[in-house]
Amino acid sequence: MTTSDPIERNGLPTKFWEKKSLSQMSTAEWEALCDGCGRCCLNKIEDEDSGEVYLTRVACRLFDDSTCRCGQYENRRQFVPECISITPKSIKDHAYWLPKTCAYLLLWRKKPLYDWHPLISGSAQSVHDAGISIKQQTLPEFEVHEDDWEDHLIEEET
């Protein structure tokens, strides 16, 4: 490590996302890109004709509405086998349903992170303060029948 590559408090190089491609990032750097909005954990409805994807307030059964994080992140596929992992190689296949504000999507599209992103603001709270997160706004999927998801559509922040 040289003095020209300072380390942030979280142990990651400063502005690593501006210096590395997604595929060059370490696991810790990749995970740090997640802003904690929780939108990827929402169940979605896809219009079969247009292909447009709509977010619902109906969250994955593992989603913790109070922390805005997966309650079983490390073991999630044991409980939700259909949970999708976003990787540098898979992002192109999932870009159509990722939240428009998602750091993975933004960087893949060569766009900057928003000012409220925790890596920019220095605070995990900033995503909630900016109104981007879905913290304490969801319904657990076991409480809403799939046929009723349309009753719980939400507008996506841009």
pLDDT digits 0-9 by tens, 100-121: 999 999 999 999 999 999 999 9
β-sheet bridge partners, residue 58: 139
pLDDT digits (tens, 9 = 90+) for 6-20: 445 568 899 999 999
Cα-based angle 111, 68, 73 (whole degrees, multiple of 5): 90
C-alpha to C-alpha distance for 104 and 31, rounded to whole angstroms: 10
pTM confidence score: 0.86
CA dist 125 and 55 (Å) reads 22
Average pLDDT, rounded, for the chain: 90
